Amino acid sequence: MNQKENENSAENLIQEISDRNHIIVKTSVIGIITNIFLVIFKISIGFVSNSISIILDGINNLTDVISSIVTIVGTKLASKKPDKKHPLGHGRLEYIATMIVSAIIIYAGITAGIEAVKKISNPEEANYSVLALIIMAVAVVTKIVLGLYVRKQGIRTNSGALIGSGKDALFDAILSGSVLICAILTFFTGWNLEAYVGVIIAIFIFRAGVEMILETIDQILGQRADADTTKQIKEAICSFEPVMGAYDLMITNYGPNRNYASVHIELPDTMTVNEVDILTREIEKKVFLETGVILTGVGVYSYNTQDDEAALIRNRVSEIVMANEWALQMHGFYVDTSKKTMRFDVVLSFDITPQECTKILFHDVKNEFPDYEITIIPDLDLTD
C-alpha cells in the first residue's frame, strides 16, 4: 500500500466516523421530537381521564427523551479533540453522563411506583373518551414505527446506544398497548385495572435505570474486548509473512471510537532490529486502517528457527504446561540449547493465581529439564 492509498484510506475512515456521528445525532433528534409529542399527549390524556397508568406511561416516554439526549451529548463529547490535559480524548465523559441519567430514571421509577400504590390504596374512577382511546392507539403505532426505525439505524451504524433505544421503544409499545387494553376494558366494562398497570410500568422504569447503571459501571471498570474485533486485529497482524503469532492483545476503551491496544508478535530469531521496526510500523498502520484501533505498543517474542532440538523441547514443554486445565495457552517460547536457558508465557484462566501457576509449572518443567534455567511469565486471559 503506497502513501497515496494510505492517505485515502485514512480520509475514508475519518469520513465514515463523521457520517456515523451524523446519523446517530439525526436519529436521536427524531426520537426526541417524537417522544416529546408522545409525552405531551399521554400526560394530557392522563390528567383529563384521571388515569395514573397513562401519566406513568408518559413519564416512561420522557426517560426515552433523556436517553436520546445523552446519546447526542455522548457522541459530541466523543468527537471532541484531545488536548494536553486529556491526551486520549474526552469520550469517557459519556459514561459519567449516563450514570447521572440512570439515577434520574431510577428516581422516576421509584416515584412512579409510589404514586401507583397510592392509587391502589385510594382508587379514583378513570373516565376515558373515544378520542382518548384513538390517540392512545396512534401512540402505540407511532412507538412501534419509531422503534423499528431507530433499531435499523443502530444496526447500520453499529451503535449499541441506538440499537438499545430501538429495542426499548418496541418494549415501550408493548407497555403502552397494555395501558390501552386496560383503558378499553374500563370504557366498556367499568373494570379499573390502571393503577395495577401503573405499578408494572414503574417496575419496568426502575429496572431500565438499574440495567443502564450496571452496564455503565461495567464500561468504567473495563470489559472484555469484543471477540470479533480481537479476531480482526489478530488476522490483520498475522497477514504479514514474518509474523508467526499474535498474543497478549490488550484493548483499552476511552469512549466511542477511542480504542488503544498493545500486542506481542512472534518473529523469527533471524530478523534484524531494522526489519522489526519496519514491520511493526506497517502492522500499526494496517490495524488502524482496518479496525480504527490504535496500536500504542508492539512487543516481540523471538522464535527458534536454527535449532532442530528447540522444536522437540518446545513440544515437550507444551505438553507439560497444557496438561493443566487452568493453562489456556503457551506462547513466546524460546530456548537456547547452548546456554541451557528457556523462557515462555502461559495464559491462565481465573481459577488460579499467577504465583500458584508459576510454582507448579516451574517444578514440573524443571523436573523434565533439570539443567535449564527457566523463566515463566503468567499472562491474564484478556481477550479471545
Q: 327-336 and 294-303: which strand pairing?
A: unpaired
Regarding predicted confidence, which is higher, 340 or 306? 340
Does the structure show a pLDDT above 90 at 156? no
> CB–CB of 168/160 below 8 Å?
no
Domains of the chain, earliest start first: 14-221 (1.20.1510.10), 227-380 (3.30.70.1350)
Does the structure show a pLDDT above 70 at 136? yes
pLDDT number for residue 359: 95
Torsion of CA 301, 304, 309, 314, to 10 degrees: 30
- Three-state secondary structure call for residue 247: strand
pLDDT number for residue 196: 80
Of 375, 302, 367, nearest in space to 345 by CA = 375
Residue type, 139: A
pTM of the model: 0.68
Regarding predicted confidence, which is higher, 371 or 82? 371
pLDDT tens-place string over residues 271-310:
999 999 999 999 999 999 888 899 999 999 999 998 889 9
pLDDT number for residue 7: 54
Kindly report the three-state secondary structure assignment for every residue of the chain: CCHHHHHHHHHHHHHHHHHHHHHHHHHHHHHHHHHHHHHHHHHHHHHHHCCHHHHHHHHHHHHHHHHHHHHHHHHHHHCCCCCCCCCCCCCCHHHHHHHHHHHHHHHHHHHHHHHHHHHHHCCCCCCCCHHHHHHHHHHHHHHHHHHHHHHHHHHHHCCHHHHHHHHHHHHHHHHHHHHHHHHHHHHHHCCCCHHHHHHHHHHHHHHHHHHHHHHHHHHHHCCCCCHHHHHHHHHHHHCCCCCCEEEEEEEEECCCCCEEEEEEEEEECCCCHHHHHHHHHHHHHHHHHHHCCEEEEEEEEEECCCCHHHHHHHHHHHHHHHCCCCEEEEEEEEEECCCCEEEEEEEECCCCCHHHHHHHHHHHHHHHCCCCEEEEEEEECCCC
